[in-house]
A = this chain, B = another copy of it.
């Protein structure tokens, strides 16, 4: 196991299904992350038994913020999210969840020890089917490496919520509660079809040896699934004829979305993480951890009916919060006040421990 910012150790092995990796396989705690209240980044390499692809060498990259003595909260977003939640001393660049993470926000490094990672597969080097349960196994390996015996909470959005449910199902002793926002126990068959066609766009682009066109189109298609007709109606007007072709009003915006995504995303990472969403299959009745299920009425990717089904089938203490949002599936990124209220309510217990 090797930590980027700490003395390197050889890799350890974490088998899928181990509730706790053997202590002897754990690396020493990275120095940087142990500085009280500071943020720290690290990476380590280990072997992981993947559900559909056997044992694979994994390099896991993480970031932590806040005093390790505070209640530990793992935070995970969609397949495009990563370890950097908000600007901090590990990186002054904006993170992917600035609206909820940071000083004075619902997830505050002054009250929580926040942990996040880059999805396994996100660096594009792992070209194999990735089950959401593989991510849960990788997270437990990370917690072992960081000597965190138990999370006060796991907060997951979209794919992160799927992985959080897997984590709660597989490692109930390692988490106090789960907040699952806009992600459930299954990939909805319609959403899966939508993603399968996005992957076909990548394949179509690959046929002409230009992955970027296909990946950009895939992302643009995904954007439609993340947003709502109501938002588009408010933002975009009528189509125009230009140079003998029809150009619709949203195309400039979609061009921007595609180019931005292609610049930061390896094609293999996109394909394998997109596939991974479609592999989500979990019986909620095995989960006894308290879960706050957050759904968005306008979500076109995760229908609120699947959230209802999840709530009905969970066995532990369960809360349901249904938000209304013009932004559909992307509400967790856009509805700052409503999501903060839900997070503060859900995290009251572990915040009180910290107070």
In the bound complex, CA of A239 to CA of B205 (Å):
23
Is A189 touching B237 in the complex (CB atoms < 8 A)?
yes
Which residues of A247-303 have CB atoms within 8 Å of chain B's CB atoms?
Answer: 247-251, 254, 275-276, 278-279, 281, 300, 303
* Interface residue? A179 (CB, 8 A): no
**Which of chain A's residues 13-63 have a Cβ closer than 8 Å to chain B?**
52-53
A196 touches B52 (CB 8 A): no
Question: Which of A71-79, A144-152, A213-221, A310-318 forms contacts with chain B?
Answer: A213-221
Contacts of A190 in B (CB 8 A): 224, 227-229, 231-233, 250
Contacts of A189 in B (CB 8 A): 229, 232-233, 235-238, 248-250
Could you tell me how many residues of chain A have their Cβ less than 8 Å away from some Cβ of chain B?
Answer: 57
Interface residue? A241 (CB, 8 A): yes
User: Closest approach, in angstroms, between the C-beta of A228 and any C-beta of chain B?
Assistant: 7
Residue from A224, A239, A278, A281 whose CB has the most chain B CB atoms within 10 Å: A239
Q: Which residues of B contact A204 (CB under 8 A)?
A: 201, 204-205, 208, 213-214, 217
Partner of A197, one of B53, B196, B210, B224: B224
**Counting CB contacts under 8 A, is A344 at the interface?**
no
Report B-chain residues with C-beta under 8 Å of the C-beta of A245: 129, 275
Is A353 an interface position by the 8 A CB rule? Answer: no
A236 to chain B: closest residue by CB:
B189
Most interface-central of A196, A197, A244 (chain B CB within 10 A): A197
Q: Given the known A-B contacts A204-B204, A210-B207, A229-B190, are A221 and B238 also in contact in the complex, defined by CB atoms under 8 Å?
A: no
The answer to whether A129 and B244 touch (CB under 8 A), given A193-B232, A207-B208, A250-B196, is yes
| B residues less than 8 Å from A303 (CB atoms) | 229
Chain B nearest CB: distance from A159 CB in Å? 14
Q: Which 3 A-B pairs have the closest CB atoms?
A: A208-B208, A190-B229, A246-B275
**25 A-B Cβ contacts within 8 A?**
A52-B241, A129-B241, A188-B232, A189-B233, A189-B237, A189-B238, A189-B249, A190-B227, A190-B231, A192-B239, A192-B249, A193-B224, A193-B248, A196-B247, A196-B254, A200-B217, A201-B201, A204-B217, A207-B210, A221-B221, A229-B300, A238-B281, A239-B275, A245-B275, A300-B300
Given contacts A189-B233, A193-B254, list 18 more A-B pairs with CB under 8 A: A187-B238, A187-B248, A188-B229, A189-B235, A189-B238, A189-B250, A190-B228, A190-B250, A192-B239, A192-B248, A192-B249, A193-B232, A194-B224, A197-B220, A200-B220, A204-B208, A207-B208, A246-B278
